Structure 1
């Protein structure tokens, strides 16, 4: 059985710029913390997997520790992080509920194609599970989301680029490495997928377009949709031949299988 495993942030929706960053800054303001991250600051923080881990990086700044009155005790710091992260998750979910975070093109379409064709579809993310489920429902609808298992948050001890989350998906869903394609948007995610022995399709975003994706089978600007401009293929190291947008046949080709998609479903580049 073929499987398609999506990352969440930057893959299902443009969550980093329009969701996580404003949620972090709102959390800092609510808790009276003397820090605000700019878009460039947050771009650097994306090298760290996990929201709590990104906030914990603040403890490396002696000036922040002093001005915010951060205790030296590790247990007290862990309690602070948990409290901040609860606030941040609530802020993020409110943004999702308000429709402030746009779903990425092609996600709902490709998920529907895969499910209709009998594929297993799952989501694997380092973000909090509540946040991931909220984004998933927003991107594909509640009915479809209910059919998709979610692996997120602290279900594994190490965050991406460690492959633990993908190892867990493979084991829990009893998937075969050769039948499972991962969709990621960042180098950390790509390394997590390939570290688990899985081929990876990358859909870049504004924060990750500059990153190296040498190990990816296919790198595209987005998955695309018929009513949008044609996608840009940034790298192609497999048998996929994407046209105007990525279709299930391209995912199948990334697994090294023949594309059985009828030609009528594969419009030429530049056509709808």
Structure 2
């Protein structure tokens, strides 16, 4: 069986949280007349909550509900959150498609290497599928994007750090967990992948550099595109000795000579 490369979206394909999701949330609050504006610092804390709708639900605390004249009925609140999230997703997707959020260093290169070697490619994310597909296409290009299975949004009951999205990806692709490398950017994502029994590389993003990545097989600043944007190694417990760029040979070494071998 071919090995698999599973990627998170936000922070892995592109550094989307600060420059994409946050302004889309704030523009949506303004559109709906909500007296809310999340700062970069506050949004960084909110990233501990997996999923955009889940973050929006914290607005439904009694004080804001009363102040903004929001409904108190649970069904009406659920529909309102869904409307907010649809509007935010449309804004965010338009921003991505404008080209404002380029792929992170090394992502297109590594994906091309894995595809050429016959690796199975997939994205596993708690973001809305429409957003994920837009980011994916811009990060790796349309020809490689169609090679991916995409598992995203509300397709599982529990979002990261629960392992559900990765367990779904394994079931649907038929991949052996021993033959899979995940690339994540956050502690929540790392915990989800580890709970699914998956070897995980972390590429830290603007919000996650200081998080606890115990259990990661490798932690780097990015996958790297030297000489302009080389990767810096932050933790290397497996002794891979990455020199500026994480390549397919490093992923093969993480899996071992049999699982990671090129077909």
Normalising by structure 1, we get a TM-score of 0.93
In 2, distance between residues paired with 1:215 and 1:228? 29
Per the TM alignment, residue 227 of structure 1 is displaced from its structure 2 partner at its CA by: 3.4
Q: How far did residue 63 of structure 1 move?
A: 2.4
The aligned counterpart of 1:269 is none
| Unaligned 5+ runs, structure 2 | none
Cα–Cα, structure 1 residues 260 and 242, in superposed 2: closer, same or farther, change >3 Å? Answer: farther
- Per-residue deviation, 1:212: 0.3
| Secondary structure in 2 matching 1:5 | strand
Q: C-alpha deviations, 1:61-114, integer Å up to 9, x for none? A: x32111111222110010001100110000001101111112100000000000
Moved more, 159-168 or 237-246: 237-246
Q: Is the 8 A contact 2:170 2:176 kept in 1?
A: yes
Structure 1 regions of 5+ residues with no counterpart?
A: 262-272
Equivalent-residue separation in structure 1 for 2:261 and 2:67 (angstroms): 61
The runs of at least 4 consecutive aligned structure 1 residues that moved more than 4 Å come to 258-261
8 Å contact from structure 2 (residues 15, 206) kept in 1? no
Residue aligned with 1:99, SS: coil
Match of 2:230 in 1: 230
Rounded Cα–Cα distance in structure 2 between residues aligned with 1:143 and 1:47: 33
Secondary structure, counterpart of 1:149 in structure 2: strand
d(CA) in 2 for partners of 1:63, 1:238: 50
Larger relative contact order (Cα-Cα within 8 Å, sequence gap ≥ 6): 2
Counterparts of residues 49-198 of structure 1 (less than 5 Å):
49-60=50-61, 62-198=62-198
CA distance in 2: counterparts of 1:136 and 1:38, whole angstroms? 26
Partner of 1:14: 15
The whole-number CA distance in structure 2 between the counterparts of 1:54 and 1:83 is 14
What CA deviation, in whole Å up to 9, does each residue of 1:206-249 have, x standing for no partner? 20000000110100000001332432111112252311211001
Preserved contact between residue 203 and residue 219 of structure 2 (Cα < 8 Å): yes
- CA RMSD, aligned part only? 1.4
Q: 1:260 deviation in Å? A: 7.5
